[in-house]
Amino acid sequence: MAYIIGVDTGGTFTDGFVADETGKLFAAKSPSTPTDFSLGFLNVIDELAVALATSTQDLLANTHYIVHGTTSTLNALVTGDVSKVGFLTTKGHADSIAIMNVEGRYAGLDADEIQFMANTDKPPLLVPRHLIEEINERIDYKGAQIVALDEDGARAASQRLLAQNVEAIAVSFLWSFQNPRYEHRVRDIIAELAPSLFVALSSDVSPRIREFARSATTIVNTQVAPILRRYLGPLEAQLRQRGSAGSLLIMQGSGGCVSASQAPRHAVSTLDSVLTGGLVGCTKLGSELGHKNIISTDIGGATFLVGLGDAKCGIRNGYENARHPPAALPWGDVGVRRDLGFGATRRC
C-alpha cells in the first residue's frame, strides 16, 4: 500500500493525516513541542502508524512524500524571536529600509486605520542601524557594471558584522536582479570568513524591481531561515533514519511546495503556508459541495487566521504581515491586520 502524509505543525498542536492509494484517510493529533518541533512531528507520525495498525518504519517506507505546513517562521516574526541579522547594501542606501519607500507607516493597516495617520507610527526597523554596512559598488538598470565592487571594503564590512555576532547576513545591492555578480562575490567573501553562516541574496530571494520591497523580503528571509534550517535539517535526517524513502516537501504561501533542503533558502515563502493550505483545502471542499464562497479559520496558540475563498482564487505579488514591510513574492491574495493580538486575513 502506498501513502501520502500531511503534517501541520502549530504552536500548540501538531496534526497529521495519511491517505492511502484507495483514498481512505486517517488522522492523528499530538501536542507540539516548541523547544524542538521535530519531536511533535515524529510523534504524530507514530500516531498515524498506530491508526493504520502498522509500524512507523513500514508507513514511512511506503510513503511517496510528506507535505509539511509549519508556523515556525510566521510565529518567529509575530513574536519577534528571529535571528540577529546583518545587512549589506549599496553605498548611500543604508537608510532605504528606514525610509521604506514611504510605505512603512501604512503597511499592513486597514482602510479605517489609514484614515487616522496621525495615530500611527512606522514599525520597528528590520535591522538596527549599527548592523547595516554600505559597500562601494554599482550596477545600473541595464545590468552594466558602473562602479567595481570594493572587495576589501566588503570583507572589512563583513568582519565588522561578524564581530557583532550576527547569525546571518542579508545582501541587497541596487539592480542586482539584472546582474547578480557582485552579490555572488560578496557571498563568497563571507563564506571565506564564516563558512557556516547563512547568507541570503536579494537576487536569489526576490529578483525583481523595487529596492525597498526586495531588500525587506531578503532581510525577513534571512531572519527566519536559520530557524527553519535548524529545524528541517535534523528532521529530514531523523525521517531517513526511521526508514523514509519519500520526499519531505514544505508548504509555501503561494500554495505550492519546496523541498526541505531548499526551504531555508526561500524561508520567507513559507510564511502563511498553514493558512494557505487550509484555505485551498476548504475552497476545494466547498466547490465539491456546491458552495462558491467559503470562510476558513485556523485558531492556533500564537495566531488566529481567517481565509475567504471564492471562485476567483488566485495569486498576487506581495504579502504584508502585522505591520511588517511587504514581502515581494508570489502569494495567494492576502491582506493582514492586527487587532487585539495578531490576526491574518487571506482572500483567495
Please list the residues that pair with 6 across neighbouring strands: 17, 67
Are residues 116 and 221 located together in one domain of the fold?
yes
The confidence score (pLDDT) of residue 247 equals 95
DSSP letters, 166-231, are -SEEEEE-TTTTT--HHHHHHHHHHHHH-TTSEEEEHHHH--SS-HHHHHHHHHHHHHHHHHHHHH
Which of 261, 325, 307, 270 has the alpha carbon at shortest distance from 72? 270
15, 333, 345 from 9: Cα distances, Å: 6, 23, 19
The confidence score (pLDDT) of residue 103 equals 74
Q: CA 234 to CA 245: how far, in whole Å?
A: 16
- For residue 24, with 0-12 CB atoms within 10 Å meaning exposed, 13-18 middle and 19 or more buried, which class applies? exposed
Are residues 235 and 293 located together in one domain of the fold?
no
53, 279, 283 from 314: Cα distances, Å: 40, 12, 12
The confidence score (pLDDT) of residue 286 equals 87
Domain enclosing residue 294, as ranges: 274-347
- Number of Cβ within 10 Å of residue 207's Cβ equals 14
Separation of first and last alpha carbons in the chain? 35
Are residues 23 and 101 located together in one domain of the fold?
no
Which cell is 329 given? 513574492
The confidence score (pLDDT) of residue 256 equals 85
The confidence score (pLDDT) of residue 100 equals 86
Q: CA 144 to CA 249: how far, in whole Å?
A: 38
The confidence score (pLDDT) of residue 278 equals 79
Are residues 139 and 238 located together in one domain of the fold?
no
Which cell is 167 given? 547569525
Are residues 102 and 162 located together in one domain of the fold?
yes
Are residues 309 and 289 located together in one domain of the fold?
yes
The confidence score (pLDDT) of residue 302 equals 67
Please report, for the domain that includes residue 31, its CATH number. Answer: 3.30.420.40
Are residues 144 and 188 located together in one domain of the fold?
yes
The confidence score (pLDDT) of residue 316 equals 43
Give the 3-state secondary structure percentages of the chain, helix then strand then coil, rounded to 5: 40, 30, 35
Answer with the one of 225, 241, 259 that is the final residue of a domain: 225
Are residues 112 and 205 located together in one domain of the fold?
yes
Are residues 122 and 232 located together in one domain of the fold?
no
Are residues 117 and 193 located together in one domain of the fold?
yes
Are residues 186 and 138 located together in one domain of the fold?
yes
* Confidence (pTM): 0.84
The confidence score (pLDDT) of residue 315 equals 41
Which of 212, 196, 191, 215 has the alpha carbon at shortest distance from 268? 215
Cell numbers 498576487: residue: 316
The confidence score (pLDDT) of residue 35 equals 85
Angle at which helix 211-241 crosses helix 72-79, to 10 degrees, equals 130
The pLDDT profile of the chain, 348 residues, written as one tens digit per residue, is 799 999 998 878 899 999 998 889 999 999 999 888 899 999 999 999 999 999 999 999 999 999 999 888 888 887 788 999 999 999 999 999 988 887 777 776 777 877 887 777 778 888 999 999 999 999 999 999 999 999 999 999 999 999 999 999 999 999 999 999 999 999 999 999 999 999 999 999 999 898 998 999 999 999 999 999 999 999 999 999 999 989 999 998 877 899 999 999 999 988 877 777 777 788 888 889 998 888 888 777 767 777 777 655 544 444 455 445 556 555 554 433 333 334 444 443
The sign of the dihedral angle between the CA atoms of 285, 42, 12, 227 is: negative
Please report, for the domain that includes residue 112, its CATH number. Answer: 3.40.50
Domain count, the chain: 3
- Per DSSP (E only), the strands in 71-113 are 85-90
DSSP 143: S
Are residues 54 and 92 located together in one domain of the fold?
no
